[in-house]
Amino acid sequence: MDTRRWGMILIGLIVALTILGYIYTPYDPNEVRVMERFESPGRDHLLGTDHFGRDVLSRILVGGRISLLIGIAAVALGSAVGTLLGLLAGFRGGLWEEFLMRTSTALQAFPSILLALLFATIWEPGVQVVLWSITFGNIPYFLRLTRNQVLSIRKRPYVEAARALGARDRGIMLRHIIPNLKDALLIQFTVSLAGAILVEASLSYLGVGIQPPAASWGRMLREAQGYASLAPWGVLAPGLFIAVTVLGFNLLGDTWIFRREDVLKRE
């Protein structure tokens, strides 16, 4: 099979399982049964139970939705804002560009985790901390990417030609630049999604992200780590799902890169 398909397959699988989580879970993911704690994976519990006797598989199924939804929402927001600002910087130049680029450099120097810890002290730990830190963390990447693309596309002969024929800025932007940005943005989008999944997991692991009893993969890792020697499945299951999702998004990004190269070659 074409190795480029793997990204699609993995992400498809994760999304399908997450959707399944809305319809069916083997157990109530938050139901506590202390006497059934740390049951190893078997017929009753496919992925075993955790320290409160909760079914790990059920929690994995519902835990994914938070990772995916927050990831997609935050990256979408970050990319939208970043792209708009990037267009502004690329087109206007001058002080605007100077200001936006310096700000984004400063923001980029800030690791997402630190940003999140800052947010967590301003607000209560929770979903909004994760959402905003991923959003803000992503703006500079999209800003920079868009601005660089705009600068390079602007110099291309067909854009110069359009301008010579009297096309206005807006027309050039809509007709020539944005369509050419699409591939680069899509690639960055998948890479950012992979990063977002990791950031969400790390923040929940650190305790400033998703709050209990809600299940998220990062939170599950945190809760299970103390019992890793006793019930390794508690750590392995969410860890595996995080890894597969991140891998899936990265492969998906690769697929876009390959496809773009194919197109360029054909041209």
Partner 1 sequence: MYKRMLFSVVVAMITILLVGGPGLAQVLNIAIPQDPDSFDPVKTVAAATGEVAFNIYEGLVKATPQGEVEGALATHWTINDTGTVYTFYLREAFFHDGTPVTLDDVVSALNRARDPKIAVRAGELSMIKDVHPIETGVQIELHEPNGAFIYTLAEVYASIYPAHALDLARRPVGTGPYQLQEWVPNQGLELRRFDQHWSGKIPYFEQANFMIIPDENSMVLNLKAGRVNLIPRLEVAVLHQVENDPNLVILSSPMNLVQVFSINNARPPFDDLRVRKALALGTNREEILHGAAWGRGTLLDSALSPSMASFYNDSLHEVYPYDPQRAKELLEEAGQEDLQLVLTLPANYPLHVQAGELVAEQWKALGIQVDLQIVEWGTWLERVYTQRDYDVSVIGLAGRLDPHAILVRYTTGNSRNFFNFSNTRYDELIRLGLKTVGSERREVYLEAQEILAQELPGVFIMDPPQIAAMTRGVQGFKNYPTYVVDVASLYK
Residues of the shown chain interacting with partner 1 in the complex, contacts defined by CB under 8 A: 30-32, 34-35, 37, 51-53, 124-125, 207, 211-213, 225-227, 229-230
- The four Cα atoms 189, 191, 197, 201 give a dihedral, to 10 degrees, of -140
Q: Which is nearer to partner 1, 23 or 34 (CB)?
A: 34
Q: Which is nearer to partner 1, 50 or 140 (CB)?
A: 50
Q: Which is nearer to partner 1, 31 or 44 (CB)?
A: 31
Tell the smallest beta-carbon distance from residue 229 to partner 1 (Å).
6
Residue 151 near residue 90, CB atoms below 8 Å:
yes
Q: Which is nearer to partner 1, 41 or 53 (CB)?
A: 53
Q: Which is nearer to partner 1, 6 or 27 (CB)?
A: 27
Instruction: Return the bridge partners of 55, or none.
Output: 49
DSSP state of 39: P
Tokens of 153: 């596309």
Tell the smallest beta-carbon distance from residue 201 to partner 1 (Å).
17
Q: In terms of Cα–Cα distance, which of 204, 214, 206, 221 is closest to 50? A: 221
For residue 117, what are the CA distances in angstroms to 71, 74, 76, 78, 123?
Answer: 18, 17, 22, 18, 10
The interaxial angle of helices 233-266 and 56-92, nearest 10 deg, is 40
In the chain, which residue ranges form alpha helices assigned H by DSSP? Answer: 6-23, 56-92, 94-108, 112-122, 127-154, 157-164, 169-172, 178-206, 217-225, 233-266
Tell the smallest beta-carbon distance from residue 213 to partner 1 (Å).
6
Tell the smallest beta-carbon distance from residue 228 to partner 1 (Å).
9
Q: Which is nearer to partner 1, 144 or 222 (CB)?
A: 222
